[in-house]
């Protein structure tokens, strides 16, 4: 009996498939002549190789397939061993490797030294859907992330990457999760740019290997320099300091950074619609399908909207004059009340900067503030609320702050089953609009098939309290429902500014008080 085995190694690379015949092992039995056995072996081998070549490019990595060449019909027939896909390899190792950058729009550590960012939240959700852990490899620039993906240092690149034709030649993308615009950003004192002809003579510096370079090809009027050592966030700071005349930024990063570098200004929109998506190497079809399946559910269940609101919901409102005044008052007014905010917040399980931000929204840190409706003091308390909390003088800053913190804590208790940060945003809305109207809004949200425990959905429902179509059927009737939405957005903005500029000082005092 003759038993022939052909072992074939397949190594797949991005340019094609290389097939290496590793070895042919033969043992000849006397029942079949040697020449005949050899001829049959090579015929079957040739057919196998032809079929294998036609199926190249379906997986990645290296595989070994063994083919029995036994002429006896009674011999068992064994099919080819499947090539392990990238997704299978990820599952085998139990870990998804994500390539990203340290940006406020991608991945960073928050005020509690915990990982955060839109890309972090989304990749964590995707990994959970596959029961995987995540390892993050953080690079200094988009260019480095793309190079790392080329070198197969990670499974996906999640770094606010723009979808463009140039990159699609080499890589695949997951579904688009966000749309942005591309702005020409200069110092606010620079003269306006009204048309393409005004672009001539602009001194422009952009981050190397960014998508912006492709957009610039449509503007021959511009001359520019690509800097390989800095990212866009750093360039925005340089513009604010007049060290660089202009740069290019996507609208999301610009909206965040202009709160800290208030002298920057969008002078011209270069691209009105750019899509962001995760990037992965070609021939990773199963991984790409898994991402698409996860995203369909993630978007339909409102998780994507929640992430977008979490990181960008407060940037919608920006007032240069107001922000300038706020930053000035942080130095002139806040020091007098800072210790009160820290102590009152700590005793009521509130972030000190959030309480201070709320107070600024209420009164601009003016202890004698008074509204036409009769609310008074630095936390703008109504007479009934102040009396119920033991306040004898609403103009007394310490009494007012401690009472405001207690009332804030009561609002949080209304939604104690909700996770942060939604719990804080909902509590602030209730503080502003009143418990009765807030309960009406929650009931209306359920009626409209919205989630009353998600701020991203409640901020769409609250304005309906001023629409007769809806408020006529509510227990407490009409309310200015749009006001709490603006109220929460402004507080979130002030809170971020306080943390950015003074968070360490506030946090250190809070720790000392707890001790």
Catalytically annotated residues: 362
Taking the C-alpha atoms of residue 133 and residue 148, their distance in angstroms, rounded to an integer, is: 20
Phi, psi dihedrals of residue 328, rounded to the nearest 5°: -70, -40
Query: For the chain, percent helix, then strand, then coil, each to nearest 5?
Result: 45, 20, 35
- Nearest to 240, CA basis, from 194, 202, 185: 185
φ and ψ at 351, to 5 degrees? Answer: -65, 125
Nearest CA to 63 among 88, 95, 34, 45? Answer: 88
Task: Report the first-to-last Cα separation within the chain, whole angstroms.
Answer: 86
CB atoms under 10 Å from CB of 1, counted, come to 12
Q: Tokens representing 124?
A: 């964590």
Contact 441, 458 (CB under 8 A): yes
Cβ contacts of residue 47 below 8 Å, gap of 6+? none
Residues contacting 370, CB < 8 A, separation 6+: 376
Q: Please state, in angstroms and rounded to a whole number, the distance separating the CA atoms of residues 95 and 100.
A: 16
Angstrom distance (rounded) from CA 260 to CA 265:
12
- Looking only at the bridges linking them, the beta strands covering 133-139 and 223-227 are unpaired
- C-alpha 60/C-alpha 151 separation (Å) is 14
Element (H, E) at 47: helix 34-54
Candidates 127, 252, 116, 99; CA nearest to 185 is 252
Query: Which residues are 109's β-sheet partners?
Result: 115
Q: What secondary structure does DSSP assign to 101-118, as a single string?
A: EB-TTSBEE-TTS-EESH
Dist. CA 223–CA 172, nearest whole Å: 31
| DSSP strand pairing (279-281 vs 171-173) | antiparallel
Cα–Cα dist 453/108, whole Å: 26
Q: Which two tokens stand for residue 194?
A: 């009204």
Q: What angle do CA 256, 259, 260 make, to 5 degrees?
A: 100
Yes or no: say if 25 and 42 are a contact pair by the CB < 8 Å rule. no
- Quote the tokens at residue 309: 């609101």
Give CA–CA dist 265/258, Å, rounded: 8
Distances (CA, A) of 126 to 134, 146, 293, 294, 297: 10, 21, 10, 6, 10
Beta partners for residue 224, in sequence order? 204
């Amino acid at each position: 009996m003759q038993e022939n085995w052909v072992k074939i190694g397949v190594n797949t690379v991005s340019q094609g498939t290389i097939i290496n015949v590793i070895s042919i092992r033969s043992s000849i039995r006397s029942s079949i002549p040697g020449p005949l056995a050899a001829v049959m072996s090579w015929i079957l081998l040739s057919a196998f190789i032809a079929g294998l070549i036609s199926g190249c490019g379906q997986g990645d990595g290296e595989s070994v397939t063994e083919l029995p060449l036994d002429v006896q019909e009674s011999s068992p027939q064994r099919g080819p061993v499947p090539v392990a896909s990238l997704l299978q390899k990820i599952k085998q190792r139990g870990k998804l490797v994500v390539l990203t950058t340290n940006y406020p729009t991608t991945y960073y550590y928050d005020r509690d030294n915990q990982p955060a960012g839109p890309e972090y939240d989304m990749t964590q959700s995707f990994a959970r859907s596959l029961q995987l852990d995540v390892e993050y490899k953080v690079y200094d620039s988009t260019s480095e992330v793309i190079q790392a993906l080329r070198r197969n240092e990670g499974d996906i690149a999640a770094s606010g990457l723009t979808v463009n034709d140039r990159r699609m030649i080499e890589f695949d993308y997951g579904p688009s999760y966000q749309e942005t615009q591309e702005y020409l950003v200069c110092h606010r004192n620079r003269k306006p740019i009204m048309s393409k002809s005004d672009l001539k003579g602009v001194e422009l510096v952009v981050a190397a290997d960014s998508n912006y370079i492709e957009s610039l090809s449509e503007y021959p009027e511009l001359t520019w320099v690509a800097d390989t050592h800095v990212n866009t966030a750093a360039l925005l700071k340089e513009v604010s300091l007049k060290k660089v005349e202009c740069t290019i930024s996507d609208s999301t990063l610009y909206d965040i950074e202009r709160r800290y570098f208030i002298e920057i200004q969008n002078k011209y929109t270069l691209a009105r619609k750019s899509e962001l998506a995760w990037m992965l190497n070609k021939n990773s079809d199963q991984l790409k399908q898994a991402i698409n399946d996860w995203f369909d559910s993630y978007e339909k269940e409102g998780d994507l909207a929640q992430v977008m609101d979490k990181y960008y919901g407060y940037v919608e409102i920006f007032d240069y004059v107001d922000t300038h005044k706020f930053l000035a008052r942080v130095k002139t007014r806040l020091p007098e009340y800072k210790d009160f905010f820290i102590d009152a917040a700590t005793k009521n399980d509130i972030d000190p900067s959030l309480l201070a931000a709320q107070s600024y929204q209420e009164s601009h840190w003016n202890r004698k503030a008074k509204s036409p409706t009769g609310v008074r003091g630095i936390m703008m308390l109504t007479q009934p609320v102040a009396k119920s909390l033991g306040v004898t003088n609403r103009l007394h800053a310490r009494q007012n702050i401690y009472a405001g913190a207690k009332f804030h804590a009561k609002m949080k208790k209304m939604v104690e089953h909700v996770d942060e940060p939604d719990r804080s945003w909902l509590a602030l809305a209730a503080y502003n609009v009143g418990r009765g109207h807030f309960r009406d809004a929650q009931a209306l949200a359920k009626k409209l098939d919205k989630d009353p425990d998600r701020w991203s959905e409640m901020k769409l429902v609250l304005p309906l309290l001023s629409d007769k179509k809806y408020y006529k059927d509510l227990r407490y009737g009409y309310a200015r429902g749009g006001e709490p939405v603006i109220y929460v957005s402004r507080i979130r903005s002030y809170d971020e500014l306080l943390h950015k500029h003074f968070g360490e000082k506030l946090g250190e005092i809070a720790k000392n008080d707890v001790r």
